[in-house]
Structure 1
Amino acid sequence: MSIETVLVTGAGAMGSQIAMVAALSGCTVGLYDVDQATLDRAVEQLALRMTAQVAKGRRTAEATRAALSRLTIATVLDEHAADVDLVIEAIVEKLPAKRDLFARLDDLCPPRTILASNSSSFVPSAMATATARADRFLNLHFFNPALVMRCVEVVRGPDTSDDAVRTALEFVEQIGKTPVVLDREIPGFVANRLLGAVRDEAIRLLEGGYADVAAIDTAARTALGYPMGPFELMDLTGIDIGYLTKTARYEETGDPADAPSATVTALVERGDLGRKTGRGFYVYDDDGNRTATTDLASLKGTH
């Protein structure tokens, strides 16, 4: 089986870019979201990104126009689910919502359809049991920004068939990405478990008063060769994403070490989620440019 038609559910930053990646590879792609305004904003942002890439000589105007013509949007799930080879879920990181969606997709999609989640918070088996096709269920975990990052983690659940994994691997290579296969499921998978260890230690250093946000990020970039520091990365991907991931893991294990830190919890509770809200570990202007570092006292208090 080859993947020719793709449905992406959830038109946020990740879902919309995953849809664009698939469209650029030649797939016919549907992008679904319950909110029309979110879909309209996604299409507008994708068009701007494609225009910028054409201006930089990374893509041709003809290729981007063709890709955008292969991408359609819908607020009605039935419109695209009835005849699709692959579904990639990229909605909010809340397990009940994902299970409800996959149960609907299981009813709507033809038997050949592979169901996949972009989640790194939840392993395949946590979602596959909401369907009658655990053998055709897996995780395809893209990284932000999906248009740029090459890695896609392909995670099989205990019941995922070899055929589904093989098809998923071929799809990842088809869209120009590099697959990393996990033969056994584990929360966080590979990359985020490694990143999580760095992030947790960075927060311990910050909360212990050993170094500030900027110093820790600078060390990660200049000593370890990271493209950005852990606090810069949390602001980019959304502090709430990490918070929800840690919360889900803590609910599963009950281990206090898995719970979100006090600093991250405080930021999320007052809505300081990083670049998308204009403030997180750093402060940003209306164009998304960083203007200041938030000190520890401000992180713990109010502003």
Structure 2
Amino acid sequence: MGANGITRVGVVGSGTMGAGIAQLCATRGLDVRLAVSRESSLTSAPARIAASFDRGVEKGKLTRAERDAALARISVGTDLAELGDRDLVIEAIPEDEPLKLGLFATLDKIAGDATILASTTSAIAITRLAAATTRPDRVIGLHFFNPVTAMQLVEVVPALPTAADVTEQVTAFAEHALDRRAVTVADRSGFVVNALLIPYLLAAIRMVDTGYCPAEDVDRAMELGCAHPLGPLRLADLIGLDVVAAIAAALHEEFKEPRYAAPPSLSRLVEAGHLGRKTGRGFHTY
């Protein structure tokens, strides 16, 4: 590990969150290795990240030289073994617990003894992920928010066995290396933000399901009446209805409370592949 702490970062997964985390780390001067699962992602992932950097240049958030330097700090590969020299590896694959457990078991075998393994899961217990490794004291939750490059919050989630110095190091990394604001939260499904947000989104969906109020009017009411930048249905579409449903399922599994149960229309939209903004249709059409 570098003299200044975490300087070499690995990211597993090149979806919205993984690509955003890689971009943020590279922008902050860190050496980033992005692990992808498909050969096609070797070209598509860097292209998406480059396009995002280009939008930043157009908006005056960074210069073209800064963009080029940040891009040069990101290497992309399909071999997880290339993450063996990383100080910190952040898992950002889909919200599928067996998939994540398998990945943590694999990372445990290839990462150095001092490497910290982190997950950006929205709802899966970090303690369960830590139990898949032989280093549970070096496993922690590091939950970013979408879009990663704009949202200031990071939830730091120590598992029951996470060492205190690991929590301190990861918190310092989030706040100083990444210039984010960190909150330390208990290892319970949903943490703070989603434990409060998801029931609100589900309540809005139920309001539409019962015919009480159309989606457009629910969104307009919350945007104008509560000064929310996005109404709950538009926000659910932005997050991804599959992600909302997965977090709701994890919350319902943990707490067994009816307010966490997915409303029928949410389930039907997900089954139909209408996942919100990313597919062009959800509760609204894009």
Q: Same fold (TM over 0.5)?
A: yes
Query: How far, CA to CA, are the matches of 2:136 and 2:154 in structure 1?
Result: 20
- Which residue pairs with 2:119 in the alignment? 117
What fraction of aligned residue pairs are identical, expressed as a percent? 40
Identify unmatched segments of 5+ residues in structure 1.
Answer: 285-303
Amino acid at match of 2:152: R
User: Which SS does the other structure have where 2:40 is aligned?
Assistant: helix
Corresponding residue to 2:172 among 170, 183, 194: 170
Give the TM-score of the pair, scaled to structure 2.
Answer: 0.95
Q: CA deviation at 1:253?
A: 4.4
Aligned match of 2:46 in 43, 61, 64?
A: 43
Partner residue of 2:194? 192
1:256 Cα deviation after fit: 4.2
In structure 2, relative to structure 1, the CA distance for the partners of 1:39 and 1:259 (3 Å cut) is farther
Per-residue CA deviation, residues 215-262 of structure 1 (Å, 9 max, x unaligned), is 111122111121111111111121001111222333444444432111
One-letter identity of the residue aligned with 2:54? T
Secondary structure at the aligned position of 1:36 is classed as coil
Distance in structure 2 (CA, Å) of the matches to 1:125 and 1:132: 12
Mapped partners of 2:30, 2:96: distance in 1: 28
The code of the aligned residue for 1:58 comes to K
The residue correspondences of 1:189-268 to structure 2 (distance < 5 A) are 189-268=191-270
Query: Would you say the 8 A contact 1:140–1:153 is kept in 2?
Result: yes
Does structure 1 conserve the Cα–Cα contact (< 8 Å) formed by 2:126 and 2:139?
yes
Partner Cα separation in structure 2 for residue 40 and residue 177 of structure 1:
29
Q: Give the alignment of 1:12-31 within 5 angstroms.
A: 12-31=15-34
Q: Is the 8 A contact 1:11 1:39 kept in 2?
A: no
- Contact 1:54 / 1:61 at 8 angstroms: preserved in 2? yes
Amino acid at match of 1:130: A
Partner Cα separation in structure 1 for residue 191 and residue 35 of structure 2: 26
Aligned residues: 282
Q: Which amino acid aligns with 1:14?
A: M
- Cα distance in 2 for residues equivalent to 1:157 and 1:14: 21
CA contact 2:202–2:259 (8 Å) conserved in 1: no
CA distance in 2, matches of 1:247, 1:194: 15
Deviation for aligned residue 1:165? 0.6
CA distance in 2, matches of 1:255, 1:52: 42
Gaps of 5+ in 2: none
The residue type paired with residue 102 of structure 1 is F
State the distance in 1 between where 2:91 and 2:104 align: 8
The match for 2:98 is: 96
Matched-pair contact (CA < 8 Å) for 2:85–2:111: yes
Comparing 12-21 with 242-251, greater Cα deviation is found at 242-251
The AA in structure 1 aligned to 2:103 is: L
In structure 1, the partner of 2:65 is 62
Superposed CA RMSD:
1.3
The structural deviation recorded for 1:40 is 2.3
Shift in CA distance, 39/280, structure 1 to aligned 2, threshold 3 Å: farther
String of CA shifts for 1:107-158, please: whole Å, max 9, x gaps: 1001111110000120210210000111111110000111111111001111
TM-score between both structures, scaled by the size of structure 1: 0.90
Deviation per CA, 1:68-105, whole angstroms, max 9, x where unpaired? 000000111112x2111001101011101000000010
Alignment partners' CA distance in 2, 1:271 and 1:125: 32
Show CA shifts across 1:158-217 (max 9, x none): 1111110111011111112111111x2111011111211221221121122121111111
Partners of 1:128 and 1:137 within 8 A in 2? yes
Q: Distance in 1 between matches of 2:107 and 2:170?
A: 18
Q: Secondary structure at 2:285's aligned position in 1?
A: strand
**Cα distance in 1, alignment partners of residues 222 and 258 from structure 2:** 26
Determine helix, strand or coil for the equivalent of 1:245: helix
Whole-angstrom distance in 2 between the partners of 1:181 and 1:62: 35
Report if aligned partners of 2:199, 2:259 keep a CA contact under 8 Å in 1.
no
8 Å Cα contact 1:246-1:258 kept in structure 2: yes
State the secondary structure of the residue aligned to 1:31. strand
Please say if 1:158 is aligned against 2:142. no
- SS at 1:138's partner residue? strand
* Aligned residue identity for 1:15: G
Q: Distance in 1 between matches of 2:24 and 2:233?
A: 27
Aligned residue identity for 1:110: G
